[in-house]
A = this chain, B = another copy of it.
Amino acid sequence: MPQGKPSVVPEDGLTTRQRRTRPLVIVHTGPGKGKSTAAFGTALRAWNQGWPVGVFQFVKSAKWRVGEERALQVLGRSGEGGTVTWHKMGEGWSWIQRGDQEDHAADAREGWEQIKRDLAAETYRLYVLDEFTYPIKWGWIDVEDVLAALAARPGSQHVVITGRDAHPDLVAAADLVTEMAKVKHPMDAGQKGQRGIEW
């Protein structure tokens, strides 16, 4: 854990306070577990600060994230912290499972256009773009467009992007990058995912 002593003081013309509240682009990548889970943990802190939180899920699954979604929805409704808005495929953006790669690509692009509009409007203070590395990896969304929109975002909006194989240009542009490496997983010992742990 960082102990509050930066190893260098940059010559960026910012005050310590400005630098301290600089909005961050955070990437959780790598083959290990915890990428999305840690992003939702970060959302707890943002909620505690009273920030509006927007979650955008880019890979659909019936089971995945149900626990995190319900927990964050309950927190958002509690009135004791920030709001939580949860966007996912099949809801919101008319994201429909049609089994056709072209449709998925169009849906992913539509989701990304919504995020760009929200960034421009400063709708949220923390964005969780869950599994967003994949539509970039698959060429559905142009990484240059992503970097331009992130660089141009106004105000103090933090963005957390999760998923394996983060594009090198995204890693280069990010402020904080953590690689989750798999050391050992129960799947290796023939165990399938289980309720309460995997979802």
A residues whose Cβ falls under 8 Å from a Cβ of B: 1-2, 4, 6-10, 12, 16, 19-22, 24, 26-30, 32-42, 44-49, 51, 59, 64, 66-68, 70-72, 74-75, 78, 80-81, 125-126, 158, 171, 174-199
Contacts and interface: CB of A to CB of B under 8 A. Distances in A.
23 contacts: A2-B193, A6-B187, A6-B191, A6-B192, A20-B191, A21-B194, A21-B195, A22-B186, A22-B191, A33-B176, A37-B42, A42-B197, A44-B44, A44-B67, A70-B80, A71-B71, A71-B75, A175-B191, A176-B185, A178-B181, A178-B182, A179-B180, A179-B181
Contacts of A179: 32, 180-181, 183
A189 B67 CA distance: 35
Nearest to A163: B1
A68 B44 contact: yes
A6 to B, nearest CB: 4
Interface of A is mostly: mixed
Nearest to A174: B184
A70 B74 CA distance: 13
A185 to B, nearest CB: 6
Contacts of A44: 40, 44, 67-68, 71-72
Residue among A9, A47, A186 with the highest chain B CB neighbour number at 10 A = A186
Residue among A8, A30, A74, A196 with the highest chain B CB neighbour number at 10 A = A196
A74 B108 CA distance: 34
A45 B197 contact: yes
Contact of A74 (B32, B81, B190, B194): B81
Nearest to A179: B181
Given A9-B190, A19-B191, A175-B186, 18 more contacts: A2-B193, A6-B190, A6-B191, A7-B188, A33-B176, A33-B178, A37-B41, A40-B41, A41-B68, A42-B197, A44-B71, A45-B67, A46-B67, A70-B80, A74-B78, A74-B81, A178-B181, A179-B181
